[in-house]
Chain A
Amino acid sequence: QKEVEQNSGPLSVPEGAIASLNCTYSDRGSQSFFWYRQYSGKSPELIMFIYSNGDKEDGRFTAQLNKASQYVSLLIRDSQPSDSATYLCAPPASGGSNYKLTFGKGTLLTVNP
């Protein structure tokens, strides 16, 4: 099993809809999770991080973490065309260090006006 797997997409949603992005990971020691957004040709930009089981909301974004299932997701409500980008899930290496992030391939999201 790969360390981090994401639904590869591309995922296409209409403007105003909810976009759901999923990520599973193999390292049971991972304690925190980061979601980055990467526009084409640009560097990753931090959107959210989550440490505890359950939901964390920040504006239109909600991250959900289920450590027992080794699953983390990102919901984007009221999707906008400006949300069109690749979304990267990144758990750090186990041991508590946030310096060595393990990225999935990312999910390409397209929001259609």
Chain B
Amino acid sequence: DAGVTQSPTHLIKTRGQQVTLRCSPKSGHDTVSWYQQALGQGPQFIFQYYEEEERQRGNFPDRFSGHQFPNYSSELNVNALLLGDSALYLCASSLARGRETQYFGPGTRLLVL
């Protein structure tokens, strides 16, 4: 049973560039949420995708956007990167019903120089 996978594992970008991170949910899951975790902080919710639409969004600017594909995998895009975007980006998947728990992928560590 494949768990949540993310790619790439590490990424270095410069300010102003754009980045795309990818996530494949746990087998059987149909909902993907993205979180940003800065050093020393807890994860912060970015947004959630279900049925290829953004359903909920946290307190993040429009520079952060996403997409979900028919196979439930998802992408997180960040435009006009800032130094403060350096963080661990976590994808979590779950089932869209009731009180389902979220399972996290290994994360993508992004460094913006």
A residues at B contact (CB < 8 Å): 4, 32, 34, 36, 42-46, 49, 51, 88, 90, 93, 96-106
Q: Which of B90, B103, B104, B105 has the most CB atoms of chain A within a 10 A radius of its CB?
A: B104
Smallest CB gap from B104: residue in A: A43
Let me know if B27 is at the binding interface, CB within 8 A: no
Query: Number of A-B pairs whose CB atoms are under 8 Å?
Result: 64
In this complex, how many residues of chain B approach chain A with their Cβ under 8 Å: the count is: 27
Residues of A within 8 A of B102 (CB): 34, 46, 98-99, 101
**A101 touching B43 in the complex, CB below 8 Å, given contacts A32-B99, A43-B90, A51-B99:** yes
User: Nearest chain A CB to B38's CB is how many angstroms away?
Assistant: 10
Residues of B within 8 A of A4 (CB): 42
